[in-house]
Every structure is written in structure tokens, then in C-alpha cells.
Structure 1
Amino acid sequence: MARPDRRVVLITGDGSLQLTAQEISRMLATGQRPIILVLNNGGYTVERAVDGPHQPYNDIDNWRYAELPSVFARNAPINSHVVATEGELARVFAGLSGTPDRLTIIEVQLDPSDLPAGMPRWGRETSALDYQVRLSMNPPRLPWGGLPGQTAS
């Protein structure tokens, strides 16, 4: 809002967007033109790393994210894309230049198990801390020395 001449890029997960989808409506109503990338991996991947990949409460309904702006403002000019490969995403990015003249939303479809390299270990350590349990394999190595009363095995 303060710098309409600047390109604003929002990167959000599908779960996070489902909690705040009405903000797209406000963006359109106030004439904002961000580029929104929705990382659609079918749920709460960070939580999958903590509580296990098969907990059903970490799966969410698969909305048609690229269509959301048209739901909130039928006649607002928007660009929407759905991509599933790096090449498709690169082609969309190649078509974006300068300050966008309309809201652009890009749904990036990802595998639910697509995690950053360190996320599985972080998830195990966080789970151990959350539930105050001792891990039989790969004990947590938290920067502050581990959980109270535990020694390394």
C-alpha cells in the first residue's frame, strides 16, 4: 500500500492461505497487485515432519487456489497459473516483468513429502521436545544441550 510502484511477492503455503484467504479479497478491493505464490503440498508439511507424515489432521482439502481471486472479485483483472514443474514455473516468471498491473496468483503443486533437507531431523527433535520423550534412534541434539534429565545414548 505504501509503495504501489514496487513489486510485492507473497509466498504462502496452502494451509496458511486457507486460514487467511479473505485477505485476497482485501487486496483486490484496495487495488493491490501482488504476485502470490501458493505452495500447494496438500497440507501442513512442517507438522508432518513433527508428528509424522501420515497423521490425517495434517491433510487439508485441495482448493483451486489459482481461481480464488475470481471468487472474491468477478470482474477484477487477474492473472492465474497452476504449475507443477520447475520449467512451468520458469515460463510463468519469464512472463512477469516490471511492476504488475494486476494481481497474479501462481499455484505451485508440490509433493506432500517434499521437505527441505534438514526438516526431518528438525521435526524429530521438535517432536521429542514437544512430547518430552526419549528417542530410541537419532536422539535429539538441541543447541541448548537436549531435554532436561536426558543424556546422549
Structure 2
Amino acid sequence: MTNVTMIAAVGRNGVIGDGSTMLWHIPEDLKFFKRTTMGHPMIMGRRTFETMGVLPGRRSIVVTRQPDWAHPGVETAHSLAEALSLAGPADEVFIVGGGEVYREAMPYAARLVITEVDQAPDGSVTFPEIDGEQWQETDREDRDGFSWVTYARR
């Protein structure tokens, strides 16, 4: 099976979004996201896609329940399993949000790449709990106001 990596920016309170906009603007982290995901397929929910749009150099696979939803330059799937199948035998596939897709993808993930943002914003969309029994921190790079943290499945 393809290596599945989940990548997210997460507040101290587990919040990743409010359902419509990005809660923070960290240019250094946006560059990190681009560097990390470039050349790889990205799987996301429709609402996440609507906040980020088509990103150059990466395949966008959007999971939606809407039977006739389509967007130019985007592949559409109606389940996570279908999205993973569409991604095919890529060396790595990135799950990029949102909350529902992260929760469903967690059992498939081999690696988590988390930007721990030193903020606790209001928002209704959260990242699933990272269980220390299942995940081991393998790398941490502390920056001003956030840290890049990598976890591997135990």
C-alpha cells in the first residue's frame, strides 16, 4: 500500500479550522507545506479544497458526498477508499484535511507531519488526538510561535 502521511497545522487546543477560513497565516509554514507536498498526490475534503484551491505541482483528489461535484484540474472521489485508490501507487500520499477526512484517514497513516501552532483559536474543526501508544515523535524543529513535529506509527 502507498505510504499515507497526514499533514496539518494544529492549535494547542486541537483546532485546525472554523469550517471556512484559515485561522492563522504563517508564511514560513505555507512554504514548508509546499516543499513537503510538492510532486505528491493530496487528498482533501471539499470544504478544505474550497479554502485552498488547486495547488500547482500536486494532484488534488477531493472527497465529497455531492454526486455531481466537479472542478477543473481536480479528481473527485466519493469515499476515502476511492481517493486512496485514485492516488494509486505513489511513493507518498498526503492527507491535507479537513477534520472528518483526518479522522477517517488516521488508521491508514504511517506518518504525521504536524505544525504545532502556539495559539488556541476558536473553531469547530479539530485534528484527531495523537495517541502516544500508537505514535512516536521522531523529529521536532522549534520555530518562533510554532514547531514542526513528525510522528511515526509505532
TM-score (norm 2): 0.31
Between structures 1 and 2, the one with greater strand share: 2
TM-score (norm 1): 0.31
Between structures 1 and 2, the one with greater helix share: 1
